[in-house]
Amino acid sequence: MAGNNKAAANSAMAGVLHDVRLAIGDLFGSKLDDKQSVLIEVLFGFLGALARADGVVSTEEAHFTNGLMDELKLNSKARKLATEAFDRGCRRQVDIEAEMLRLMRTYPRGSGEIDRIYQSLLRLAAADHTIRRGERQFLEKITLGFGFEPEELDNRLKKIMH
């Protein structure tokens, strides 16, 4: 049984990685521009905040973050930026509302990038098949901030967790 849960978690993480790669595409070359920096800082800050929302950053969440950096082939500057942002999120030093606004100045509400980042956060939260209260509160903020109707959160979670 534990093997099945681990396989399901690994499959869910692979899906999240795929979604984030789609959202980001081939943005990362040898030099980061301002648009790429914002995306890295906000995405990894949100991942850190979500990972910590239930009180503890699990080994799987830390591995996921490192794996994501590898999959995105982040250069050393981008990796440092991502690690710092994730750590700020884990320490609850990310202003969620301000970071959403900063992200949406580059990627407007309703854009494919916002939708895929949102979906990736939902899948990360659902990876252990349980949405805890802190995760739920975080996702509710993100849902409204990204311009989705409140019921969108439950609709999407039902699809992911079925």
**What is the b/e burial string over 33-52, where b = at least 16 CB atoms within 10 angstroms of the residue's CB?**
eeebebbbbbbbbbbbbbbb
pLDDT of residue 94: 95
Q: What pLDDT is attached to residue 17?
A: 61
Do the Cβ atoms of 114 and 20 come closer than 8 Å? no
Instruction: Write out residues in the chain with pLDDT < 50, as ranges.
Output: 1-2, 26
What is the rounded CA–CA span in Å between residue 11 and residue 64? 11
CA of residue 96 relative to chain centroid, distance: 12
pLDDT at 1: 47
pLDDT at 122: 87
Given this model, what pLDDT does residue 14 score?
A: 61
pLDDT tens by residue, 23-66: 555 455 557 788 888 989 999 999 999 989 988 887 777 777 88
Model confidence, pTM: 0.79
* Burial of 129 (C-beta count, 10 Å sphere; 0-12/13-18/19+): exposed
The pLDDT value recorded for residue 82 is: 93
